[in-house]
Amino acid sequence: MQFRDLYAQYKALKPEIDAGIQSVIESTGFILGKPVAELEEQLAAYVGRKHCVCVANGTEALQLALMAYDVGPGDAVFTSDFTYFASAGCASIIGATPVMVDIDLDTFNMSPAALEHQIQRVLAEGKLTPKFIIPVDLFGLPANFPEIEKIAAKYGLRILEDAAQGFGGAINGKRACSFGDISATSFFPAKPLGCYGDGGAIFTDEDAIDARLRSLRASGKSPEDKYDNREVGMNSRLDTLQAAVLLPKLKAFESYELDAVNRVAEKYTAALSDKVVTPAVPEGYLSSWAQYTILLENKEQRDRVQAELKVKGIPSMIYYPRGLHQQAAYKWMELSDTDYPNTIAATQRVLSLPMHPYLENVEQEYIINSLLEVM
């Protein structure tokens, strides 16, 4: 059994994916070719933003989004403490300072109350200028944008949505990648919409930001003359082969995969919610289920359950074993566990179960029955 079965998906989409790859090889337009432009158009339409700029990966999508707003040294960027490293690393790498914010344990997403507390702390300290908030759509569930937007407005901050795991999610029909001032996603193979290597995208409604991102992803070239650079950018372009893989995958995602993962999630929740804490989906929210993550009682029980599932041939993952404030790279910040009680609880109690659109009924029943048995 696979934790996320990418080969089952390939088998379902093989004719279209193979033909797309073959046609890129024959066109020899390997970087930012026509399929990339086509993909950008389709992605922008799907998420409901004016522009989409495809780049080399999700980490650089986040970094380039901050660069397009001139974020840098002396700026504070607030992000969730319980997420993949890039949500904070994107700020550090351009000289800004990430400020980690504790989460709400029911959704695993940034706590609006903890966010306001951290903003006030930074303002009182007077060393950094608060600039951006990076809410993360963790495990596919959009962050609490209604509340976070109010806080951003109150303190004059911008929002960069980290939708690396959130693509396909929505709040009251408004889709992930359309929240805040600018948003970024990842096409890493295991994400809700994944390619066959690294890839990412940035979404904006602003023409000027779109133009700047197109320059920044190509080393900062001028629109008129590619050998005259108007600023220092990055080499962060999407390979055309990845766009050829993503075009049929986006079609499948829209037409049935997003529904399929939601059916899998409903079935898990119906079968397990009496025995473990199952993931909450607030009223009006739609998750794209990058992960289906349950909470066990404590670390001992979680580790035991994971080991016993493994014996039964069931893969499970711990996303994430530590908070960002516990990472070696941020040791110099001397952050205390006592400021991140929900992150700490999550790191000790979470367990992510196999989740993907091609999970068979019999496989899921085996997972559910095994889990209930070892509990």
Ligand X SMILES: *Cc1c(COP(=O)(O)O)cnc(C)c1O
Q: Which of 20, 33, 35, 58 binds ligand X (CB under 6 A)?
A: 58
Binding mask 199-238 for ligand X (x = CB under 6 A): -x--------------------------------------
Of 27-35, 56-64, 103-111, 325-333, which segment contacts ligand X by CB under 6 A? 56-64
Residue 165 CA to residue 186 CA, distance in Å, equals 7
Sign of the dihedral defined by the CA atoms of residues 281, 178, 184, 152, in that order: negative
Which of 59, 204, 215, 342 is the binder for ligand X (CB under 6 A)? Answer: 59
List the Cα angle 330/97/178 in 5-degree steps.
110
> How many residues make contact with ligand X (CB under 6 A)?
15
Q: How far apart are the first and last CA of the chain?
A: 20
- Residue 57 in contact with ligand X, rule: CB under 6 A: yes
CB of residue 343 vs ligand X: minimum separation in angstroms? 14
Whichever of 79 and 118 has its CB closer to ligand X, that residue is: 79
The two beta strands, 292-295 and 350-353, are antiparallel
Q: Who's near 65: CB < 8 A, 6+ residues apart?
A: 90, 160, 182, 183, 184, 202, 213
Span 113-142, contacts to ligand X by CB under 6 A: 136
Which of these segments, 81-89, 223-231, 251-259, 302-310, binds ligand X (CB under 6 A)?
Answer: 81-89
Residue facing ligand X at closest CB distance: 58
Segment interacting with ligand X, rule: CB under 6 A, options 68-76, 83-91, 111-119, 362-370: 83-91
Under 8 Å between Cβ of 47 and 189: no
3-state secondary structure of 362: helix
Q: Judged by CB, which is closer to ligand X: 96, or 305?
A: 96
Residue of 87, 118, 183, 288 interacting with ligand X (CB under 6 A): 87
Among 213, 208, 231, smallest CA distance to 221 is for 231
| Site mask for ligand X (CB under 6 A), range 155-174, x = bound | -------x-xx---------
86 lies in the site for ligand X, by CB under 6 A: yes
Handedness of CA 305, 263, 257, 282 (dihedral sign): negative
* Cross-sheet strand order for the sheet of 285-286: 174-175, 170-171, 285-286
Name the residues that contact ligand X, by CB under 6 A.
57-59, 83-84, 86-87, 136, 162, 164-165, 186, 188, 198, 200
